[in-house]
């Protein structure tokens, strides 16, 4: 992704107040989107007094790249004539009066290099400006990505070229600021807190064709498979060392005891997001009865080893019912455990608003004042309204109880609760989450015959419908997996990163139908200790270890937690940490439909 400047005053600034700096370097990707035929500034460094400056901008023709300082009127880097609509990597490094600039167009095999030795002995760095200079009206109508700046370091040509291959910095020594611009934000991903100001109205668009970071050790991890397991009783043999027993004295060995323990299992249940149920440690005590030794003469004897068998009883773990588990035949609906449809008194007549039915959309189209039609805008689904129409037909003596069950099974919602609703159509089961917002069973003359027409309406605040099956994947540290969302809209995975893990990072990458890449990064500046579990929950926008929120540890290179999603089709999900030796992370998700 990249930040898009399309008007004056959309630029960013940051007061660095570094004073006189002898060595510094900058790397960034830039694109001129519209040739303004005027000075267009990529970046500018100016002193506290404003008298000194170093800037990278086009000349008055809008496309000829120039490096300007207060000591030199203009240096035109080799190959520095920009084509509107093309991405370029531009790197500049300065050491006193000496400077180097490299430039490479996207897709080019190599960069061109320009050097000079006519600059100031030092650069007075007071303010950093992106997309505008310290002079009025020199704004950039274009896009920028992967901006990195180092102080106290003069990067070589090769180092600048390497920085142009990736969004994340290769060199961290001397890194002063890093703005990935994976979203239109102001956070500094270097960790030094140099947050930008301004940028009001700036948008985002597809960025340059570069990877996020250098290729890591990439290990293909096979997806885990859905399976119902009933483990057999676990048995183990406990052996005791041979005791030495001499006669002539009273011998009474004490009771021999040992503890057998089972590792804590991970058990998931089918709520959304799925709930992890972790039974406590299963422990059992193995006891060995006191042996009896009898002899007929005064000799030393060596009894054979005492061997006993330890048996662990089958653990008893209770979990809530997965939504849809109680649908045993087609044509059934269940709402928080209250079942209607075939096999119940509430026969299925009509269901609207489910599955193929599209929720009502908020249409962002706006009338085009200069042509026929409208300018297209975003389309967002409103709450999903699901209506179930039923005919209750039972013996007259049972109609009162059946109506009372209808009343009890569809109560008035309690505050903002969203309860599971599942529907089985033929062999397909989908689930959603909402509340019953209308219930009616008008009484007419047929009531005395045991016949009622009943209607129930459900409002799903989040209109997505999900598959009943919960999918999972494990990703080794430094590895990746391909995950598939068979639905037609984005789904939000639950992510679990066990400790010890230092600086966990997850990346989801998907190739869009037009060939562009949708890349989303989420990483955290924290250490997950051994025995801890970092849980990232995009559905609820939370990041926790136990009951403690860790949302503030999200780095500036990350997307918002709710924006870390799996799109329709195949995505590549990767996991890495700073040390590269953390236990595997786990992702859980459902197919999503809209």
The pLDDT value given to residue 436: 95
Structure tokens at 170: 């290769």
Beta strands in 224-364 (DSSP E): 235-239, 245-246, 256-262, 267-269, 275-277, 282-288, 300-301, 307-311, 332-335, 338-341, 346-352, 361-363
- What's the angle, vertex CA 470, arms to CA 425 and CA 464, rounded to 5? 60
Phi, psi (degrees; rounded to nearest 5) at 397: -70, -20
The pLDDT value given to residue 325: 86
The pLDDT value given to residue 420: 94
* CA 412 – CA 439 distance, rounded (Å): 9
H helix or E strand, kind and range, residue 422: strand 419-425
Max Cα separation, the chain?
Answer: 118
Partners of 287 in beta bridges: 257
Does the bond joining 273 to the residue before it have cis omega, within 30 degrees of 0? yes
The pLDDT value given to residue 410: 94
pLDDT in tens, 158-193: 999 999 998 889 898 899 999 988 766 788 888 888
Q: With contact defined as beta carbons under 8 Å apart, do 127 and 45 qualify?
A: yes
Task: Provide the phi-psi class of 202: left if phi over 0, else alpha when psi is between -120 and 50, else beta.
Answer: beta
The pLDDT value given to residue 135: 85
pLDDT lower than 50: segments of the chain: 216-228, 263-264, 268-282
* CA 62 – CA 112 distance, rounded (Å): 20
Going across the sheet that includes 479-485, the strands are: 479-485, 569-576, 505-511, 517-523
The pLDDT value given to residue 506: 95
The pLDDT value given to residue 38: 94
DSSP secondary structure code for residue 359 in this structure: P
The pLDDT value given to residue 73: 66
The pLDDT value given to residue 541: 93
Does the bond joining 500 to the residue before it have cis omega, within 30 degrees of 0? yes
């Amino acid at each position: 992704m990249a930040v898009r400047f399309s008007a004056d005053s959309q630029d960013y600034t940051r007061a660095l107040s570094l004073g006189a700096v002898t060595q510094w370097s900058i790397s960034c990707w830039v694109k001129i989107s519209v040739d303004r035929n005027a000075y267009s500034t990529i970046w500018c460094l100016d002193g506290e007094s404003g008298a000194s400056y170093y800037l990278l901008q086009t000349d008055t023709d809008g496309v000829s790249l120039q490096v300007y300082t207060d000591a030199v009127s203009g240096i035109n880097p080799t190959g520095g004539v920009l084509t509107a609509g093309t991405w370029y990597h531009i790197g500049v490094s300065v050491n006193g009066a000496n400077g180097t600039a490299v430039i490479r167009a996207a897709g080019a095999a190599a960069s061109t290099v320009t050097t000079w030795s006519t600059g100031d002995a030092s650069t007075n760095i007071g303010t950093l400006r992106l997309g505008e200079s310290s002079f009025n009206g020199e704004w950039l109508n274009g896009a920028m990505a992967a901006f990195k700046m180092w102080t106290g370091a003069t990067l070589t040509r090769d180092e600048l070229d390497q920085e142009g291959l990736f969004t994340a910095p290769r060199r961290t020594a001397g890194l002063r600021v890093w703005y990935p611009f994976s979203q239109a934000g102001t956070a500094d991903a270097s960790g030094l807190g140099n947050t930008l100001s301004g940028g009001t109205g700036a948008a985002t668009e597809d960025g340059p064709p570069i990877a996020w970071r250098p290729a890591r050790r990439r290990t293909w991890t096979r997806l885990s498979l859905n399976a119902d397991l009933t483990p057999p009783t676990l048995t183990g043999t406990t052996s005791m060392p041979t005791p030495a027993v001499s006669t002539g004295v009273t011998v009474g060995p004490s009771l021999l005891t040992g503890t057998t323990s089972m590792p804590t299992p991970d058990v998931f249940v089918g709520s959304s997001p799925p709930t992890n149920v972790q039974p406590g440690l299963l422990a059992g005590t193995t006891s060995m009865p006191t042996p009896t030794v009898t002899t007929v003469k005064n000799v030393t004897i060596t009894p054979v080893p005492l061997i006993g068998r330890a048996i662990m009883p089958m653990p008893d773990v209770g979990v809530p019912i997965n939504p849809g588990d109680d649908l045993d035949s087609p044509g059934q609906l269940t709402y928080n455990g209250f079942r209607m449809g075939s096999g119940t008194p509430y026969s299925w007549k009509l269901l609207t608003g489910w599955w193929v039915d599209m929720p009502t959309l908020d249409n962002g189209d706006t009338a085009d004042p200069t042509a026929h039609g409208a300018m297209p805008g975003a389309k967002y689904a409103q709450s999903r309204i699901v209506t179930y129409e039923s005919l209750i037909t039972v013996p007259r003596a049972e109609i009162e109880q059946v109506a009372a069950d209808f009343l009890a099974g569809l109560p008035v919602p309690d505050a903002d609760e969203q309860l599971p609703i599942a529907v089985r159509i033929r062999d397909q089961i989908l689930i959603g989450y909402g509340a019953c917002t209308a219930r009616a069973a008008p009484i007419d003359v047929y009531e005395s015959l045991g016949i009622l027409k009943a209607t129930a309406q459900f409002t799903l605040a989040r209109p997505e419908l999900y598959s009943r099956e919960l999918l999972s994947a494990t990703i080794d540290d430094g590895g990746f997996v391909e995950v598939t969302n068979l639905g037609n809209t984005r789904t939000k995975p639950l992510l679990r990163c066990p400790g010890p893990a230092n600086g966990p990072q997850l990346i989801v990458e998907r190739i869009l139908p037009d060939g562009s890449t949708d890349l989303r990064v989420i990483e955290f500046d924290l250490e997950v200790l051994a025995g801890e579990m970092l849980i990232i929950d995009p559905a609820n926008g939370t990041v926790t270890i136990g009951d403690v929120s860790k949302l503030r540890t999200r780095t500036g290179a990350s997307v918002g937690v709710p924006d870390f999603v799996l799109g329709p089709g195949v995505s590549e999900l990767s996991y890495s940490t700073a040390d590269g030796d953390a236990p595997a992370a786990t992702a859980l998700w459902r197919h999503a439909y809209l």
